[in-house]
Amino acid sequence: MADRTVAELRQKIAQAREVIAHLIDKAAVNGAEAHRALEYFGSDAFDRDFLPWPHIEEGLRPEELNAANDD
């Protein structure tokens, strides 16, 4: 990957983290999972198993899981 592409992807991830933090704040969500997401998206680490649902290639999609329908 070109250095410019890597730099732009890092900036995009930083923007995503800011959006997530804003949405969490607006929703008054202050749980452990919210903080876990912010920490994850604020770091350079990649965790293939970060998502709390099975990967698409494993079968169920998020909207097919009961947890995705929680209000």
pLDDT tens track for 9-43: 989 888 888 888 888 888 877 778 788 888 888 88
Q: How many domains does the chain have?
A: 1
What pLDDT does 36 receive? 84
Least confident of 13-17, 21-25, 45-49, 50-54: 50-54
What pLDDT does 68 receive? 47
Domain that holds residue 58: 3-69
Amino acid at 57: E
Beta carbons within 8 Å of 41's beta carbon, 6+ residues apart: 13, 16, 17, 20
Contact 65, 53 (CB under 8 A): yes
